[in-house]
């Protein structure tokens, strides 16, 4: 069977352009405006010249045969490059120096299911703490790195809430590029160390993430930032595609089946929108059966602009000043917020938030039941899943995948005051018995 062409790529043919001939980004055909559909050739641009809407990658998948594609994927490497035919990267990408993220575990979480009242065998945790720099950000940076190479950038940069800084530092180190990344000056120590250790430049900005982001936008327009690829700004269309690999892996690991329900964290909202894009592509390509799925968004109450808009029935997202322990999700003005609202409503999902205490409880719940130590973002998704089951919005009888996007070792402070030694004893059996620890 011949694969269908993905709908969003068929509105018009890509504009011919000399620059587009000189970059090899595999099946990526053009950049397409998410608002008005206007197309421009592949390049380091991120906003539509017609309407200032965000650009995303449009593909030409028309030559793919479903069964050949499935075989090619299944015989590919155990990392995101098995999906290279569906990503904006050259065909030979697997041979280049790269930190090769992905193919993380999909853990069947029966113990957690029991605690949450979900049917046995129906609950899964997609554990992205298993990536090279211990968060899902390696997936998106890997795509941005290929775009940076294609466009001839020599410095890799970003604005980061922490995890992205580490992912950019590591990717640049391995690729032999300079990196200079910008973070809020008051991040968790674990994230600062994780970002700095790769030897790139790390700059703390006196302000929150939204201030850091604004500063980076200024730098892009200034000669001081010339030749710099900002993975989440001028390379954002390429970067964002990396999140599709989460959708691909989840479906392949379920035996080429769509899950019924997914619980996804929201920072800028990019990951959630691209998981939806990835699922739609698999359906269009015939790799999974076409049936409904629901996407649920998860935020922390202290930074819940999308959840607040969802519950109020609004289409626009009013910015907030973040105040939560879930710092990796603390984006008060999420660029993809309106698209997240669309997806939650279109698929029949929802957007929900939990407070910091519930985040900590959920981190401990996941650790105690499944042996997975999540960072605060994982506490947010597990906490929101629990709340959605209690609300009756998440069906406990359907296949559900909850994302853990980062490693608890990066946010030790969140649980440090809540955990510790069971007892301190002298090195003697008497002391051991006195503490009531024996059989
Ligand atoms: C960046 C990040 C996300 C999602 O970010 P989006 O901006 O919504 O794509 C989720 N979890 C963790 C741990 C992150 O670092
Ligand atoms: Zn436009």
Same domain, 226 and 308: no
Same domain, 123 and 262: yes
Same domain, 207 and 247: no
Distance 54 CA to ligand 2 centre (A): 7
Instruction: Judge contact between 347 and 292, C-beta under 8 A.
Output: yes
CATH number at residue 154: 3.40.50.1100
Residue with the nearest Cα to atom 3 of ligand 1? Answer: 267
Same domain, 128 and 13: no
Give CA–CA dist 364/357, Å, rounded: 11
Give CA–CA dist 193/339, Å, rounded: 34
pTM of the model: 0.93
Q: Which residues pair with 47 in a beta bridge?
A: 54
Which ligand is the nearest neighbour of the Cα of 135? 1
Question: What is residue 438's predicted lDDT score, i.e. its pLDDT?
Answer: 86
Same domain, 251 and 384: yes
Residue with the nearest Cα to atom 12 of ligand 1? Answer: 405
Q: Please list the ranges in the chain whose pLDDT falls under 50.
A: 1-20
Locate all alpha helices (DSSP H) within 254-375, ordered by sequence: 270-284, 305-312, 337-347, 356-370
Question: What is residue 209's predicted lDDT score, i.e. its pLDDT?
Answer: 86
> Which tokens is 98 given?
């790269």
Same domain, 128 and 251: yes
Same domain, 235 and 248: no
Residue 228 main-chain phi, psi, to 5 deg? -100, 130
Same domain, 213 and 314: no
How high is the mean pLDDT of the chain? 93
Same domain, 84 and 18: yes
Instruction: Judge contact between 168 and 141, C-beta under 8 A.
Output: yes
pLDDT digits (tens, 9 = 90+) for 363-415: 999 999 999 999 999 999 999 999 999 999 999 999 999 999 999 998 898 99
Same domain, 175 and 152: yes
DSSP per residue over 261-286, as a string? EEEEE-SSSHHHHHHHHHHHHHHHTT
Distance 270 CA to ligand 1 centre (A): 8
Q: How many domains does the chain have?
A: 3
Same domain, 261 and 290: yes
Distance 17 CA to ligand 1 centre (A): 34
What is the maximum span of the chain, computed from C-alpha positions, in angstroms? Answer: 82
Q: Which atom number of ligand 1 is nearest to the Cα of residue 161?
A: 15
Task: Give the residue numbers spanning the domain of 37.
Answer: 5-90
Which ligand is the nearest neighbour of the Cα of 265? 1
């Amino acid at each position: 069977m011949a694969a269908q062409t993905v709908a969003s790529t068929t509105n018009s043919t890509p504009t011919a352009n000399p620059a587009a001939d000189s970059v090899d980004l595999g099946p990526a055909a053009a950049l397409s405006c998410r608002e008005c559909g206007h197309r421009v050739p592949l390049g380091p641009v991120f906003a539509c010249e017609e309407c200032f809407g965000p650009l995303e990658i449009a593909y030409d998948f028309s030559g793919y045969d479903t069964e050949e594609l499935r075989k090619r994927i299944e015989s590919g490497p155990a990392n995101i490059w098995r999906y290279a035919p569906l990503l904006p990267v050259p065909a030979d990408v697997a041979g280049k120096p790269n930190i090769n993220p992905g193919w993380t575990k999909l853990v069947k979480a029966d113990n957690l299911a029991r605690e949450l009242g979900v049917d046995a065998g129906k609950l899964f945790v997609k554990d992205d703490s298993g990536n090279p720099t211990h968060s899902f950000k390696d997936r998106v940076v890997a795509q941005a790195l290929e775009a940076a190479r294609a466009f001839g950038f020599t410095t890799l940069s970003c604005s980061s809430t922490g995890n992205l800084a580490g992912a950019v530092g590591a990717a640049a180190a391995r690729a032999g590029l300079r990196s200079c990344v910008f973070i809020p000056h008051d991040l968790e120590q674990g994230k600062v160390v994780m970002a700095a250790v790769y030897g790139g430049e790390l700059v703390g900005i006196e302000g929150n993430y939204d201030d850091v982001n604004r500063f980076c936008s200024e730098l892009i327009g200034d000669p001081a930032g010339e030749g710099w690829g900002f993975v989440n700004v001028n390379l954002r269309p390429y970067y964002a595609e990396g999140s599709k690999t989460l959708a691909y892996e989840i479906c392949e690991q379920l035996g080429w089946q769509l899950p019924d329900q997914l619980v996804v964290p929201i920072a800028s909202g990019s990951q959630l929108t691209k998981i939806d894009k990835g699922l739609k592509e698999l359906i269009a390509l015939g790799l999974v059966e076409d049936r409904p799925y629901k996407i649920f968004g998860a935020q922390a109450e202290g930074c819940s602009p999308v959840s607040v808009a969802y519950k109020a029935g609004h289409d626009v997202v009013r910015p907030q000043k973040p105040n939560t322990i879930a710092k990796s999700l603390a984006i008060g003005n999420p660029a993809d917020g309106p698209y997240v609202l669309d997806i939650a409503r279109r698929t029949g999902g929802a957007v929900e938030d939990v407070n910091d205490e519930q985040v900590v409880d959920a981190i401990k719940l996941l650790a105690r039941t499944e042996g997975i130590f999540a960072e605060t973002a994982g506490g947010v998704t597990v906490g929101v899943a629990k709340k959605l089951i209690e609300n009756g919005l998440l069906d406990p009888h359907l296949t559900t995948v909850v994302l853990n996007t980062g490693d608890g070792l990066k946010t030790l402070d969140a649980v440090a005051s809540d955990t510790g030694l069971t007892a301190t004893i002298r090195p003697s059996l008497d002391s051991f018995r006195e503490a009531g620890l024996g059989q």
